[in-house]
Amino acid sequence: MKLYHSFERFYLSKFYLFIPAAIIILACMAAFVAYYLTIDGLHPLNFIQLIICVAAAVGYLAAVLGQMPRKRTFQYFFYGLLIELFLLVINMIF
């Protein structure tokens, strides 16, 4: 939890500098996940995972463009990144 709060303080202190970096990070993660999802074809389970992947990546962008509070945008970024990492690890293992 301490790591989460220190990362949140860093994000909030450099909010305007971190917005483009966060968008690039989430977009690249989503691209990797989409690549690994579509290697074997687009089965129904892979399609659902692809929808979750895109929703996690677009959620942060929508939060920033919707001018939500800074803490809320950090939550969207953090949880979106966790979802992307989880999907990437699951698809690389199986």
Q: What is the pTM of this model?
A: 0.91
Phi, psi of 43 (to 5 degrees): -75, 165
What pLDDT is attached to residue 29? 95
If 0-12 CB within 10 Å is exposed, 13-18 middle and 19+ buried, where does residue 6 land? exposed
Q: pLDDT tens digits, residue range 11-44?
A: 999 999 999 999 999 999 999 999 999 998 889 9
Domain boundaries of the chain, sorted by first residue:
47-94
Helix, strand, coil shares, percent, the chain, to 5: 85, 0, 15
